[in-house]
Structure formats: C-alpha cells, structure tokens
Amino acid sequence: MNGTSLKTEGFGFDPTESQHYFLVSLSSSRESDVQISEHMSWEKGMWEKKVRAVAKETDERLRVSLVRSKWDAIADAVSAEFNQRLKDRNQRKGKWKDPGLTPISRLLGKELILLAWAIEDADPGRIPAAITNWLGLTPEERWWLFTMTNAATGQALRGRGVGWRKALRFALTENPLSAGHYEQRVGLIAGLDSEAREKKSVRKPKQETLIEFMETRA
C-alpha cells in the first residue's frame, strides 16, 4: 500500500468490489426505529436524500429494527471496532449519517446485524455485556453465527424472538462465560462438526462453548 486510503462508501463498502452490502437507516425523528437492511445491488446516487431503504417492516431485505436508545448504546463501540479494522486495511474511516443511510461492507454488516439481533429484545442493562461478548468474538466467528441465524430467522419481524435469534440474546447478554473465558473457546465455529458433537456428550458444564450454549436455547 502507498499510504493513500482506499475510497469506500460508509464503513468499508466498495461497490466496485462487491455490490452486496448493508444499510443503516437513521431517521430525523428519535422516535423512529433504526433499520438495518441487506442489499444486492448498487448505483451511485441511488440513496441520496433518502433516510429509509425499505418502506415496510415486512420487506424481505430488512434484517432488524432497533429502538433508537438501543442503537445509541452500541453505535460508538461498533464504529470504533470497524474503524480500527478499516485503518488496519488502509481504508478511510466511516461514520453514521444521521439522519440518512450509511452503507456497510458485506462482512462488517453481518457483524453489526449479529450484535443488533442480540440486543433487540434484551434488557437495556445487559447491552454492555453484549458488546463485551461481541468484541470477544473473532470476525470469523461473527460471520459464522450470522450465517446460521440468518438462514433460519433472518427477516426483521418473522424471525424476531425465536430460534437462533432468541439464542443469540441468551448467548451474548446472559452467557455465563466471562471475558476471561474467551481463550478457552477454541473451535467455536467447528463446534457443530461431528467430532465436536461426539465430545459434547462428555463435556463438563463449565467448558460449554458458545455454540453449544446456543444450541440448548434455539
């Protein structure tokens, strides 16, 4: 790299690399929910002067809606995490457009959705714990958990509060594993392979992995 930041939209979204991205929608009214949606096409200027990417909460592209207070509770932590990684890749930093639409790269968007799903129905007092647990996951773990959850309960309304979405809330806000246990969670993504399943029957309760914990709640 020559020291010049790569030009991207929002948080790491480069439409010349991939037109798969997410959008965070912040309304001028603090009474309106914050929407995060997933999109597969992009044209320059298509979102200018808009603050909503979808018109209805039943839209298949809508992944989650958060009350503004919950969004405010995670926005700075998410921004700091994403911008550090963008800096490491020599990409320019992003910031939330308020009001307006902020595009996010495909992978970063998956990570944001994961955290948003975890807190959408959580007690506000548990949000700091969710952020800590989310930060304790590697990006690859976040992507995997998003994929598993999205496949079954990915639409904002239809998937809310059931299956993997419910399990995520328990895992990230009430998970008994503290920050000190992150190093013990080796093989998190491989937790569903046949070997892990065989070991699961003889594991000790205190060595429960996040995936195993979620399986019991889903």
**Which pLDDT band holds residue 44 (cuts at 50, 70, 90)?**
confident
Q: Residues 82-92: pLDDT tens digits?
A: 999 999 999 99
Residue with the bigger pLDDT between 5 and 53: it is 53
Phi, psi (degrees; rounded to nearest 5) at 98: -135, 105
Buried residues in 124-160 as b, exposed as e (16+ CB within 10 A): eeebebbbebbebbeeebbbbbbebbbeebbbbeebb
% of the chain at pLDDT higher than 70: 77
Top pLDDT among 213 and 31 is at: 31
Q: Is residue 75 part of a domain?
A: yes
Q: Tell me, yes or no, whether 117 lies in a domain.
A: yes
Mean pLDDT of the chain: 83
Model confidence band, residue 115 (pLDDT cutoffs 50, 70, 90)? very high
Q: Match 């603050």 to its residue by tokens.
A: 51
Asked whether residue 4 is assigned to any structural domain, the reply reads: no
Does residue 205 lie within any of the structural domains? yes
For residue 6, being part of any structural domain is answered with no
- Whether 201 is in a domain gets the answer yes
- Category of 168 on φ-ψ map: left (φ > 0), alpha (ψ -120 to 50) or beta: alpha
pLDDT at 199 over 50: no
Q: Give per-residue pLDDT as tens, 126-153.
A: 999 999 989 988 899 899 999 999 998 9
What domain count does the chain have?
1
In the prediction, which pLDDT does 101 show? 97
pLDDT band for position 210 (50/70/90)?
low
Of residues 174 and 215, more confidently modeled: 174
- Categorize the per-residue pLDDT at 6 as very low, low, confident or very high, splitting at 50, 70 and 90: low
pLDDT digits (tens, 9 = 90+) for 151-173: 989 999 999 999 889 988 988 88
**What are 24's strand-pairing partners?**
36, 102
Q: Where residue 209 falls among pLDDT bands split at 50, 70, 90?
A: low
Rg over CA atoms, the chain: 18
Question: Among candidates 5, 7, 14, which has minimal Cα distance to 105?
Answer: 14
Domain-located, residue 9: no
Does the residue 137 lie in any domain? yes
| Token output for 173 | 């806000």
User: pLDDT (tens digit, 9 = 90+) per residue, 178-198?
Assistant: 444 544 343 333 332 332 234
The answer to whether the beta carbons of residues 123 and 115 sit under 8 Å apart is no
- Residue 30 belongs to domain spanning: 21-217
Residue 207 pLDDT exceeds 60: no
Q: Is the pLDDT of residue 94 over 70?
A: yes
**DSSP secondary structure letters along 96-161:** --SSEEEEEEHHHHHHHHHHHHHHTTS-GGGHHHHHHHHHHS-HHHHHHHHHHHHHHH-STTTTTT
